[in-house]
Amino acid sequence: MLNYNDFKLYKAVSVKLIPITSPRFLPPESVVVMPDWQQIFGNANPLVFEIGCGVGDFAAQMARLHPHWNYLALDYYNKGCIKTCKRADKAGLDNLRVVRDEARSFMDRCIPPASLRAVVINCPDPWPKLRHRKRRLVNAEFVGYLAGFMQPGADLYFATDFVDYGLDVAGMMPDLTGFENVLAPDLFRHDLEGYPLSKYMLKFMAEGKRIYYVHYRTTPQTGGDHGGS
């Protein structure tokens, strides 16, 4: 029987999708097996991966701020991918590519171990009800999994408006091996200098909520063993 996440993914891939024609969109058939990222971006710049990019406003700002990074923005929300592509096309951001997929499935197939320069997760679905908390994307197991795809010295950025989610992630990170806290001695901050604001961050801030930022970096020993298929 399908579990809830399988069902969401099934719906995402089975409903009639508006085709995406942008040259910055990586069509599903191009990400079935490990792609040649150097060939796709046309250079060997560091690869940065954003999970759940939504409409891509943050991704576009990051790609503009870091022209020497190859920025890969992923979401399984088709309209979000379309909007992200439109932004990137309009701004002529040649260092930004967009993928429509489920994060974990995509990483297993398409991200080489120990290859990512940074991972970005902004305002992931909070699953506010207590009985739904286990559906949250970010937990110790997931961060351990991410670590296998990150280079030594790679950045992990997490941001949420949801107090309980922010405190959970901030509280669990010090116990994980292979990461050092860039914000130490703080476990989290409500401002992160130089870090752009996403659509959801702006929405929550307009409602008077504060953002919880968590920023860690992999240690020199980290990387390579994600245990994924």
Residues that bind ligand SAM (CB under 6 A): 52-54, 74-77, 80, 102-103, 122-125, 137, 198-201
Reduce the DSSP state of residue 131 to 3 states and report it. helix
Tokens of 98: 């967009």
Q: Measured from the CB of residue 131, what is the shortest distance to ligand SAM in angstroms? A: 18
Query: CB atoms < 10 A from the CB of 174, how many?
Result: 12
Q: Measured from the CB of residue 8, what is the shortest distance to ligand SAM in angstroms? A: 8
User: Which of 125, 161, 164, 225 is the catalytic position?
Assistant: 125
Cβ 47 vs Cβ 37: under 8 Å: yes
User: Partners of 213 in the beta sheet?
Assistant: 159, 189
Query: CB atoms < 10 A from the CB of 190, how many?
Result: 11
Q: Supply the DSSP string of 182-210, one letter for each residue.
A: TTTT-S-BS--TTPPPPHHHHHHHHTTPP
Q: Which is nearer to ligand SAM, 105 or 185 (CB)?
A: 105
Q: Which is nearer to ligand SAM, 35 or 80 (CB)?
A: 80
Q: Measured from the CB of residue 36, what is the shortest distance to ligand SAM in angstroms? A: 23
Q: Is the dihedral of CA 159, 28, 37, 115 positive or negative?
A: positive
Q: Assess whether 125 carries a catalytic annotation.
A: yes
Q: Measured from the CB of residue 221, what is the shortest distance to ligand SAM in angstroms? A: 28
Q: Which is nearer to ligand SAM, 28 or 220 (CB)?
A: 28
Q: Measured from the CB of residue 162, what is the shortest distance to ligand SAM in angstroms? A: 10
Q: Which is nearer to ligand SAM, 199 or 217 (CB)?
A: 199
Q: Supply the DSSP string of 28-94, one letter for each residue.
A: GGGGSS---HHHHHTS-PPEEEEES-TTSHHHHHHHHH-TTSEEEEEES-HHHHHHHHHHHHHHT-T
- 150-160 and 212-218 strand pairing: antiparallel
Residues annotated as part of the active site = 125
